[in-house]
Structure 1
Amino acid sequence: MLKLIRNCVAVGAAGLLALSAAPSAAEESDDLTYTIQKGDTLYGIKERFLLDSVNVNELRDYNRVRNTRGLRINSAIRIPREMLEFTPVEITVFRLSGPVSIAGTGAQTEQAVNEGDVIETRRNGFVTLLTNEGARISLPSNTAARLVRARRYTLGNTLDLDFKVERGRASASSPSLEGQDRLQMRTPLAVTAVRGTEFRVAYDPESGEFSLTEVTEGEVNVAAGGDQIAAPAGFGIASSAEGVGEPQALLGAPEFINGGAIQTGEALEFAIEPIANAVGYRVQLAREAGFLDVINEQRVDGTQTTFTDIDDGRYFVRGRAIAANGLEGGSEAYTFRRKQLGVAAEAGPGDDYEGFRFAWRANGEGESLFAFQLWDEANPQTLLVDEVGLTETEVILTDLERGRYQWRVAVAQADAEEGLLKIWGTAETLVITE
């Protein structure tokens, strides 16, 4: 049975607070602290920082204060976040692709996300959220996450961003946080929070066994089952209801054999150099180097991956090696051009009974030139026909003797970046029996 994790928080190591009452980490998770200044009273603190609906006696009882007016200077009191006055933090959809919904309806760029909203991506759906202060949350396909809090408290001008990943994966990036600021992401099993770093979390509700945290920059603390442990960049942690596992080194970034090559085929094809101890790879395509605008993603068990229905343009690809425990490693982005270019061809009897017609058409956009070659299958080194610079899309040959021939067509286009692009089609066989 899963343990209920309440009031359990992790903050960056530099942000652990020394409270006068020395509460446990579990007790301090949803509290902010305030250091008593000369002249402070609980009534004054209530007026400055607390919601109107909060009674000062609640703050007194929570901190076991006997004299509400005689507070010791430089001592610290704890204030639950739910008591604090705040202004909402603006979070909007920055980029999205494919099927994405917010609060049950289709998402749109620049749409606001409010506390309590569930952001859900389906197959080939991707979304990146941005705050007006620069924090970023990205959700890939088949993920559901709920915005728990997006607030800036009056007390200390403190930022509080809190997401719950209910299914799938999410990555977070935050600018440098100050004081008691936090960016927190939780799953049903664990809580991860940071102070100016980049990390990922993952949770599979079907297995429900582990919550994964992967640190790509900075350091995070992970809390689960009453335990709390720090993980530096390049390490990951698998947490369960029983507690937090030991940090494990993430696998390195895989190399793409043809990562930067221009892609001209009907589909994009990438080959990955195998990494030891990897059981698979996650490969993503994006329109920009920061991968805020992801357009497709695949998880493959082998080292070959193929993407279809990708328009011409410049894109970025990156991959992450997946370990047996599910932790995903580092990545390195490659930029490449997508320019579909190819040729489809066919052969048949010409208008003249003695002739054969070879016809073709170019795949892709742009003005094209063509080349045509034909040779005897038994003597491929000697070309019987070798025509280049053709503007026509067919040729007719006559007086071909009986035999087995092979032929092919090339398409060529001038490209501003690559110069002349020339793609040969597959060699076809023509058999003449009469």
Structure 2
Amino acid sequence: MIGINPTKIRPVALMALTCILAVPLPQAIAQEGSPVLYKVQSGDTLSGLVSRYLQGTDALRQLVEFNAISNPNVVSVGYSLKIPRQLLKHVPSSATVSRINCTGITRQQGETSSVLKLGDEVQEGHVVRIPAGCQLALTLEDDSTLRMMSGSVIRFKALRRNALEVSPEVRVELLDGRIEANVPRKRQENDAPVEIRTTTSVAGVRGTEFRVAFDPAAQGSQVEVLSGVVAAQGSADAKEQLAKAGQGVAIAPDGKALPVEDLLAAPQYADSQAGAGAQWVLRFTAPDLAKQLLVRQSEDVSFAFLSASDALTQPQLAVRDVGPNAFYQQWSSVSSSGIVGYGQNYALCKPYKREDLWRCNVTFDLGGLTNPHLRLLKLDASGQETPILDKALPIEQNDQLVLRGLPVGQYKWHIESDLAPNRRTSQQGDFLLVAITPKS
């Protein structure tokens, strides 16, 4: 155990790709995602384009028909040519397992199945199954991440690269459960899209962070946007709805999307009340529109792996055996349509006092990380940041980092680690460290 005391016709030019998904198209093409757009330049020919970038013996015919071009030999300079994605030459891309918390997660292709472990690759055509209690994070070639929750089943319909877009095309089918997509870097105009589908919905865009959930029994879907803009569409809808940061869309079992709604705020810790024996009752305040409160547990303060959850109808929860070592809960509000709102990560403990400050012991699980570097910052009421820790962490013998005597308050953190030779990956988050004391 590591103990620390804190103190992205004609050959054509690339045109801006607008990543709006599920644009109405002929059915065969709509299933392959939105087309790539090009602006014709002087000297370009359709046959030249087909030779360089397209595949299939009748690619030229399909391209002409799809764009309703009357004379393939005469295409005006500046014409916006739509290229169906399934015609593009491509090479495989992959997603690398960057975090995993159990040995029962499998990938399957056809009749072949294998157990996933850290550093393994998932490719187009694979179906990933995540048992109850397990979670998985995949890092794409552009450093985007897909986080797959307990009980989820995901099919990778497309995971490929073409010569005309700078990032991989990613199309995922969520068969069951919940998936979170995080595309943190600033997107370039010619990035390929990320798309997550269920049997009743399609959602996706680049340069954003969003979540999709699907219940195969109820056939309902939810799309929740934390940053950026997402185009969400029910399978029975004529057009998509745009959900912005802080909004969500629920799709009913009949495939029709409900109106866009705002994400509910997270429940806020209010106080604690001593109960019988070693029991404490944690009390929170919650939005009036919350139908229920979702409480998920974590083994460490990174909240990388969320386990068993409680669905509460009242904003309070009894806990036992509280001590100076913090325990970890994520609290969220759920609307009547099933949209999960913002989450608040809490580290809670029965504190001890040193130098007039309430303090707790907090753990980071660095298991599976290679050469991690942690930066931890404490935030004051105005948002001013104070560095607490900024260092590489040796984990040759132990992968549990314990920060002893950490003062209560708001924190944010960033961890970088090696994903492969000459390739680093990162993750970040925040938490509120709370002292459980009577009427605290």
Q: How does 1:372-411 map to 2 (within 5 A)?
A: none
Q: Distance in 2 between matches of 1:221 and 1:159?
A: 19
1:182 matched to 2:193: yes
Choose the corresponding residue for 1:233, options 236, 245, 266.
245
Mapped pair 1:101 → 2:89: no
Tell me which of 30, 33, 48 is aligned to 2:34. 30
What is the alpha-carbon distance in structure 2 between the residues aligned to residue 101 and residue 221 of structure 1? 30
Q: Is the 8 A contact 1:255 1:273 kept in 2?
A: yes
Q: Match of 1:15, as an amino acid?
A: T
Contact 1:281–1:321 (CA under 8 A) maintained in structure 2: yes
**Structure with more relative contact order (C-alpha pairs < 8 Å, separation 6 or more):** 2
**Higher alpha-carbon Rg:** 1
Name 2:221's counterpart in structure 1: 211
- Equivalent residues of 1:227, 1:243 under 8 A apart: no
Structure 1 93/266 Cα, relative in aligned 2: closer, same or farther at 3 Å?
farther
Deviation at 1:25, TM superposition (A): 3.8
The gaps in structure 2 that reach 5 residues or longer are: 1-16, 352-402, 408-440
In the aligned structure 2, how far is the partner of 1:47 from the partner of 1:75? 19
Identical pairs, percent: 22
8 A Cα contact 1:138 1:292, kept in partner: no
Q: Partners of 2:204 and 2:259 in 1: how far apart?
A: 17
Contact 1:160 1:183 in 2 (8 A): yes
1:82 match: secondary structure: helix
* Offset of residue 268 of structure 1: 10
CA distance in 2 between counterparts of 1:15 and 1:290 reads 34
1:192 aligns with 203
- Give the CA deviation at 1:288: 6.1
CA gap of 1:135–1:24, structure 2 versus 1, over 3 A, is closer
Q: CA deviation at 1:294?
A: 3.5
Secondary structure of the 2:168 match is strand
**Residue 223 in 1 paired to residue 233 in 2?**
yes
Query: Which residue pairs with 1:85 in the alignment?
Result: 89
SS of the counterpart of 2:50? helix
Is 1:157–2:166 an aligned residue pair?
Answer: yes
Give the Cα–Cα distance (whole angstroms) in 1 for the partners of residues 350 and 156 of structure 2. 36
Contact 2:94-2:124 within 8 A present in 1 as well: no
Cα-to-partner distance string for 1:25-55 (whole Å, 9 max, x where unaligned): 4457431112111111111101221136554
Q: CA deviation at 1:207?
A: 1.3
Equivalent residue number for residue 353 of structure 1 = none
Is 1:15 the counterpart of 2:18? The answer is: yes
Instruction: Give the TM-score normalised by structure 1.
Output: 0.64
Q: Deviations over 1:332-361 (max 9, x none)?
A: 22235699xxxxxxxxxxxxxxxxxxxxxx
CA distance in 1, matches of 2:326, 2:300: 9
SS in 1 for 2:122: coil
Does the residue aligned with 2:47 lie in a helix, a strand or coil? helix
The equivalent of 1:381 in structure 2 is none
**Contact persistence 1:286–1:317 (CA under 8 A):** yes
- Per the alignment, do residues 163 and 169 of structure 1 end up closer, same or farther by CA in structure 2, a change over 3 Å counting? same
- CA-atom RMSD in angstroms: 3.7
Range with greater deviation from structure 2 (276-285 or 214-223): 276-285
Paired residue for 1:244? 257
Deviation, structure 1 residue 179: 2.2
CA contact under 8 A between 1:139 and 1:170: conserved in structure 2?
yes
CA–CA separation in structure 1 for the residues paired with 2:155 and 2:292: 28
Map of 1:59 onto structure 2: 63
Q: 1:84/1:315 Cα in 2 relative to 1: closer, same or farther (>3 Å)?
A: farther
Deviation at 1:237, TM superposition (A): 0.9
Mapped to 2, the partners of 1:173 and 1:157 lie a distance apart of 17
Task: Give me the whole-angstrom Cα distance separating, in 2, the residues matched to 1:70 and 1:317.
Answer: 63
Q: What is residue 339 of structure 2 aligned with on the other side? A: 327
* 1:330 Cα deviation from its structure 2 partner: 0.5
The AA in structure 2 aligned to 1:251 is L
Q: 1:306 to 1:155 in 2, by over 3 A?
A: farther
| C-alpha distance after superposition, 1:358-412 (max 9, x if no partner) | xxxxxxxxxxxxxxxxxxxxxxxxxxxxxxxxxxxxxxxxxxxxxxxxxxxxxxx
Q: Matched residues in 2 for 1:142 and 1:267: separation?
A: 31
CA contact (8 A) 1:141 1:297 kept: no
* CA displacement at 1:256 relative to structure 2: 3.6
Q: Note the C-alpha offset of 1:313.
A: 7.0
Shift of 1:135: 1.0
CA gap 1:102/1:258 in 2 versus in 1, 3 angstroms: farther
Letter in 2 for 1:60: V
Q: Is the 8 A contact 1:40 1:69 kept in 2?
A: no
The alignment partner of 2:128 has SS state of strand
- Equivalence for 2:268: 255
> Are 1:129 and 2:138 matched, yes or no?
yes
- Does the 8 Å CA contact 2:201/2:255 hold for their aligned counterparts? no
- 1:112 offset after TM fit, Å? 0.7
**Contact 1:254-1:272 at 8 Å conserved across structures:** yes
Residue segments in structure 1 that go unaligned for 5+ positions in a row: 1-13, 18-22, 260-264, 340-414, 420-434
What aligned pairs does 1:311-390 form with structure 2 within 5 A after superposition? Answer: 316-336=328-348
CA deviation after TM superposition for structure 1 residue 257, in Å: 4.9
Q: How big is the shift at 1:269? A: 8.2
**Which amino acid is the alignment partner of residue 332 of structure 2?**
R
Instruction: For 1:33-52, list aligned pairs within 5 A.
Output: 33-51=37-55
Match of 1:281 in 2: 293
Q: Which residue of 2 aligns with 1:403?
A: none
In structure 1, how many angstroms separate the alpha carbons of the residues matched to 2:257 and 2:406?
51
Partner residue of 2:123?
A: 114
Count of aligned positions: 322
